[in-house]
Amino acid sequence: MINNFIPLAKPNIQEPDIDLVKEVLKSGMLVQGKFVNQLENKFVDFTHAKFASALSNGTATLHLALKALNIGSGDEVIVPAFSYVATANVVEIVGAKPVFVDIEINTFNIDVSKIESVITSKTKAIIPVHEFGLACNISEVVSLAKKYKLFVIEDAACALGALFKNKHVGTFGDFGSFSLHPRKAITSGEGGVLITEKVELDKKIKTLRNHGIDMINNKMEFTEFGLNYRMTDFQAALVCSQVERINKSIDHKSKIAEVYYNEINSKNMTLPFTPNYTKHTWQTFHVILNKSIKRDLLIEKLKENQIGANYGAQCIPHMIAYKQKYNYDCEKLFPNALRAYLHGLAIPIHDFVSIEEASMISKTLNKLI
């Protein structure tokens, strides 16, 4: 019976991916070899960005982007109130202040109309998130950033392959940050890739990820306070051939989403909205439950029915560390983020969910609530 369990997410690792990992392990060249380079080239080809750097995870990519832009103490960075905590944690880690903006409850993306009112003389950057694989209104974010001379770091951790008006997310801002964690479209275990259009920023990232090392007159010099955020070559090898399958995977997940739209008819949940100028990658299918529904109980009942389900992301200012430091009234300031955190539910969507299973999940949800 337990074998029929449909997990919330499941990476799709195939034999050719494993063969490439074996090749690296047998070669003895375990770090920063040819596959790291190959992966970076594949990201450039896929997203049409100019430059890409493979790093150790999607938090490291955000952290180094902030460091490369010299953002730190005394600076403010605008972030959505609803995201994975990493989006705001990196701002705290560099000593800057995350300034939260509420989200739209139907797309779960930053409410762009609320950004301008929080911009101050200390604001240095905006980190818009393409939440759950759906592009936010990035062109309006970039327009505001241009008006106020702010940097934009796109947190596209979950959104590899997502398009905004036919252009890949991650290519609008100064940086685009992707995660390769197993819950994402393609995975290296831990891993991340940072893309940029600017050669000087790319050079800085490649120095910062490698202890601040630069080659000067053929001599290794330590020119920056860098870190070790390198990706190993066997991680890069694992993910290299997965890049070729991204669009196939997105197509499959779009079909699963279509089943949910056609077959979930419970009045006690609201399905997400996709603006027509975006291509959703369906990293997560996230619904909002009516307040009368006890979410934890529902998650348990879904489990009994062999269906994995869980919360989607956090209302970050509502998390203990942020509450203790800032004590925001989230209900008043970020009502949509709080609602998405307290009443949101992610249901299975990945390469291994079949159309029949999506139909069964829909029927089960209709029956349970």
Ligand X SMILES: Cc1ncc(COP(=O)(O)O)c(C=O)c1O
Helix (H, G, I), strand (E, B) or coil at 229: coil
Those residues whose C-beta lies under 8 Å from the C-beta of residue 117, and which sit 6 or more positions away, are: none
- d(CA 190, CA 55) in angstroms, rounded, equals 9
Structure tokens at 161: 């392959």
CB of 24 to ligand X, least distance (A): 21
- d(CA 135, CA 109) in angstroms, rounded, equals 8
- d(CA 239, CA 237) in angstroms, rounded, equals 5
Per CB under 6 A, 67 contacts ligand X? no
Site mask for ligand X (CB under 6 A), range 32-61, x = bound: -------------------------xxx--
Using CB atoms, what's the residue nearest to ligand X?
A: 58
Task: List the one residue out of 335, 352, 329, 358 whose CA is nearest residue 271.
Answer: 358
Give me the amino acid identity at 12.
Answer: N
CB of 29 to ligand X, least distance (A): 24
Q: Of 102, 155, 174, 202, which one interacts with ligand X (CB under 6 A)?
A: 155
CB of 199 to ligand X, least distance (A): 25
CB of 289 to ligand X, least distance (A): 21
Backbone phi, then psi, for 49, in 5-degree steps?
A: -80, 165
- d(CA 308, CA 134) in angstroms, rounded, equals 22
Give whichever of 33 and 312 is closer to ligand X, judged by the CB atom.
Answer: 312
Q: Dump the DSSP string for 295-350.
A: HHHHHHHHHHTTB--B---EEGGGSHHHHHHH---HHHH-HHHHHHHHHEEEE--S
* Positions in 164-223 near ligand X (CB under 6 A): 179, 181, 192
Per CB under 6 A, 84 contacts ligand X? yes
Q: Of 79, 129, 240, 347, which one interacts with ligand X (CB under 6 A)?
A: 129
Per CB under 6 A, 102 contacts ligand X? no
Q: Dump the DSSP string for 116-136.
A: GGG--TTEEEE--B-GGG---
Task: Give start and end residues of each alpha helix (H) in 96-183.
Answer: 138-148
Per CB under 6 A, 89 contacts ligand X? no
CB of 298 to ligand X, least distance (A): 23
Q: Of 38, 47, 83, 123, which one interacts with ligand X (CB under 6 A)?
A: 83
Residue in this structure with the two tokens 């010299």, named with its chain if needed: 70
Total number of residues binding ligand X (CB under 6 A)?
A: 14
Give whichever of 63 and 124 is closer to ligand X, judged by the CB atom.
Answer: 63
CB of 286 to ligand X, least distance (A): 12
Region near ligand X per CB under 6 A, out of 24-32, 84-92, 238-246, 255-263:
84-92
Per CB under 6 A, 86 contacts ligand X? yes
Query: Do 62 and 216 meet the contact criterion of CB atoms below 8 Å apart?
Result: no
The H or E element containing residue 177 is: strand 175-179
CB of 58 to ligand X, least distance (A): 3
Helix (H, G, I), strand (E, B) or coil at 41: helix
Cα of first residue to Cα of last residue in the chain, in angstroms, is 24
Per CB under 6 A, 96 contacts ligand X? no
Per CB under 6 A, 109 contacts ligand X? no
- Which residues make up the interface to ligand X (CB under 6 A)? 57-59, 83-84, 86-87, 129, 155, 157-158, 179, 181, 192
